[in-house]
Structure 1
Amino acid sequence: MAMNLHHSLRALTLLGLSAGAVAVPAGASAFGTEPLGLTIGLTPTISSDYLFRGISQTRNRPAVQATVDIQHGSGLYVGGFVSNVTFLGANARQEADALAGWRTTVSGISLDFGGIAYTYPGFENRPASAYDLQYVELAAKASFNISDLPLPAKVLAFLNYSPNYQLESGTGLYVEGGLELALPHDLTLAGRGGYQWIQNNARWGSPDFANWSVSLSYRISDFVLTAGYFDTSLNRGECFGGQKICEARSMLYLSRTF
């Protein structure tokens, strides 16, 4: 997120444990609790930074994160995401997000409809003139696998809406599209591009902005190693009072799926 400037999720937009915000570079494997009809997935991740829609949430420092996903056979699910964060001028040190929604498949298209609450335990909204970091989003995701190409591909689309975005900056709308290609030797090449609109840009701290990324992931058993390049359309002068958290960067992620 941004302070005076935030994030996701979580490769972090968060949706079905996927944020916006670059949080989890690959989907979690899962173990089942069959009597209850539940499937549980857990993915711890370490990364060289924590980006949310292209903007660093740790002021260019490493992050330790975890996601959990609990889904019922009906498609209903709940989940969570936690990470360390560091914002200029704020005492927030942790982010803890709660997710809930419903997943289904229609004509081969995987659909995910849900909501995300972004919270910062321990954050004190002081001084009195400061605006709140915490906010909620409604989220929709669609993905479609294309198997009759030389390389199997997945097309993705995301839509996130907040009635009052972070820092009480009014209506927020985020759209993103992506493409993933399955390469030989357990490699996956992915590209994403998105755009964030904010109603009150002066309160938020930057103009509306685009972000994009390209990454390469390698799966080794239950581990996934991802290297990527990430950037935004914001220059230094537009980036929350001249901070260096919106600039282009290369990143590394290592996750373990359970």
Structure 2
Amino acid sequence: MLKRLAALALGLGLISAPAAAQVDLGAGFTITGSAIGTTDYVFRNISQTRNRPAAQGSVELSHETGLYVGAFASTATFVGTDARQEVDLIAGYRRTISSFTFDISGIGYTYPGYDRQTGQQELSFMEAMLKLKYELDPVTFVGTAAYSPNFFGRSGDGYWLEGGVDVKLPVLDIVLSGRVGYQWIERNARFGAPDYFAYSAYATIPIAYGFSASAGYYGTDISQRECGGLKICDGRFIASLTWTF
């Protein structure tokens, strides 16, 4: 039961943040980063913090060739485990050709400090991810495909497909976004939830000095019964404040 409850707590996609400004380091290198405070941290619309606030940060070092490395960190709270943080390590290649951008990456999701007990599964896993973006001002179309050979909780092959659209309004540069996605999991019993549909709609507004605010609704089609009686799969409103550099 503990491993089921722990697995249910994981469901990239992260709360979407606006693109960060770039700091030029010379020799073709730039660095970007962000700090985020959010009322809940959801991964593919399942709460990672048991419906509680989270503090997050990210950093990326990129080169003009398109190669980049980065990291993302967040507080996390999984039921029945001592895991209290998540650190993701990322490496990839990103290229823009006219209005089209593709991004191929490998991501390692890790949980430093997690001490696996008898009957529990390892939480860390790897994913290969492809992101596509097409800009047709003021509309941007986005898509994501991800594959893990051994998904969270050692639940076997995991596949994620997501599509969406961002629309930039002429008022205050507000961006309205919508996403729909589907998660397939080979060993649903070990993961602790069925394959599921995820959806979200949110708005992002720039403020000043690198700050922006975001708010929206995130949901799945997983019932509380299918979620082990927990509310971490329920639909929820989430607000966040992001500072980028």
Q: TM bucket by the smaller chain?
A: over 0.9
Deviations 1:131-165 (A, max 9, x none): 11000000000000012xxxx01000000100000
Q: What is residue 191 of structure 2 aligned with on the other side? A: 204
2-side partners of 1:138 and 1:97: how far apart?
13
Alpha-carbon deviation of 1:27? 1.5
Distance 2:229 2:214 in 1: 29
C-alpha distance in structure 2 between counterparts of 1:210 and 1:119, whole Å = 25
Write the letter of the residue equivalent to 1:132.
Answer: E
Q: Which residue of 1 aligns with 2:14?
A: 21
Displacement, 1:106? Answer: 3.5
- CA distance in structure 2 between the aligned counterparts of 1:188 and 1:211, rounded to whole angstroms: 20
TM-score (norm 2): 0.95
How far did 1:244 drift? Answer: 0.7
Q: Does residue 238 of structure 1 match 2:230? A: no
Q: How far off is 1:4 after superposition?
A: 3.8
Unaligned runs of 5+ in 2: none
Q: Which residue of 2 aligns with 1:227?
A: 215
Percent identity between matched residues is 41
1:130 is displaced (CA, Å) by 1.3
Residue 205 of structure 1 aligns with an amino acid whose one-letter code is G
For 2:121 and 2:108, how far apart are their aligned partners in 1? Answer: 17
CA distance in 1, matches of 2:28, 2:98: 24
Between 214-223 and 111-120, report the one with greater CA deviation: 214-223
Gaps of 5+ in 1: 14-19
In the TM superposition, residue 28 of structure 1 has moved relative to its aligned partner by 1.2
Runs (4 or more) in structure 1 with deviation over 6 Å come to: none
1:40 matches 2:50 = no
| Conserved? CA contact 1:4–1:89, under 8 Å | no
Give the Cα separation in 2 of the matches to 1:53 and 1:74.
30
Shift of 1:6: 4.1
SS of the counterpart of 1:215? strand
Q: How many residues align?
A: 239
Is residue 9–residue 79 contact of structure 2 (8 Å, CA) maintained in 1? no
* 3-state SS of paired residue (1:246): coil
Q: Distance in 2 between matches of 1:213 and 1:157?
A: 14
Letter in 2 for 1:3: A
The partner residue of 1:174 within 160, 180, 195 is 160
**Which TM-score applies when normalising by structure 1?**
0.90
